[in-house]
Amino acid sequence: MFTCILSAHIKPIIALQEVRGDEISQISKHLTSTLKETTSEQPRIPTYKISSTMSAFVQNHLQPYPALTNFVATKPLAGKTVLVTGAGRGVGAYISQQLAAAGVSRLGLVGRDRSRIETAKQTYAAEFPGTVFEAFAADVTDEAAIASVFSQFGVPDILVNNAGVFPDSGPFINEDLKAWFTGFEINVLGTAIVTQQFLRAKGPEKKAIVLNVSTLAAHFRAPLVGWSGYGSSKLAQARIFEHIRFEHPEVRFTNIHPGQIASDGFARSGAPEPAEGMTDGGMAGKFYVWAATEQADFLSGRFAWAEWDIEELKRKETEIVSKDLLRVTFEGI
């Protein structure tokens, strides 16, 4: 029997979450607490017991910590240009704000709602006067509109694919499949359109970084009832980058789960607040800043969590690369 895992030390269990040994019981309690009843018999997120053999990877953080905060304060992205999709709210807003805090010179903001993205531009500009913000109202599934964005903004040094949707409303059997399929239209096709237009505008010579805002639902082994559209579309999305990295060795692609951040998508998912608390959005945004620097080059083509400690990750660079860890793949028989 094959198990879909994030490649790491242990087979066939999932070894993707960086957990200290003394945190296993806390995480088990968290998963137990995340119960959402869609009917009296059908939990949206059923109890799942983590195997006691899950190996520790690196330390988790839910709040900003000195190593990450101090790194962003050095403005490591000074002079860089960045384009962020879904930049007007939620995770996209946190990432955009931290990119600006890290010294980005020009920041393109893409969103479907013109009013929202223009308001976001004004808000960010007031807080970060050292960054030039440009807002674009465009749907990521509209190829012509996205091509126009790159024509107007130019080719950024860094692309952040954040735009996405949680399409599920409950168990698969009850879904309106046309609504359910919007997860694939936005999360897969939309992301593919933005990335393809970026690559075409960039040309073959320019080096670049593409960060994809993913989710634990793309690889998590626990049975998440009522998440079929989201989990499967985000898995397909993540695999796009693991494939095209071979076609574009000049581009560093990295999939990153931002954590459990308060957002419209999190609310729609039906998951209650974890027992240990939510992930701080600002901290997650700072991790994306770090992931856009040379320090994170070893994460090329890999899957990471924004809650992971950057110092411990760097110490594991040799192990990660030599053992080809942090890929979304099939292992074990």
DSSP secondary structure letters along 304-329: EETTB-HHHHHHTHHHHHHTT-S-EE
Residue range 243-249: mean pLDDT, rounded: 96
The ranges assigned to domains in the chain are 55-308
CA distances from 311 to 56, 108, 228 (A): 15, 30, 35
Whether the per-residue pLDDT at 204 is higher than 80: the answer is yes
> Could you tell me the pLDDT band of residue 56, with boundaries at 50, 70 and 90?
low
pTM of the model: 0.84
Measured at the CA of 149, the angle between CA 143 and CA 152, to 5 degrees, comes to 140
CA distances from 320 to 8, 10, 317, 325 (A): 8, 14, 5, 5
Q: Which sign does the torsion angle of CA 11, 16, 20, 25 carry?
A: negative
Measured at the CA of 94, the angle between CA 76 and CA 275, to 5 degrees, comes to 120
Residue type, 281: G
pLDDT in tens, 5-17: 344 332 322 333 3
pLDDT in tens, 4-50: 334 433 232 233 333 333 333 343 444 334 333 333 344 444 433 33
55-308 fold? Rossmann fold (3.40.50)
Picking from 35, 58, 122, the residue whose alpha carbon sits closest to that of residue 87 is 122
Rg (CA), the chain: 19
Direct distance between the N- and C-terminal alpha carbons of the chain, in angstroms, rounded to an integer: 5
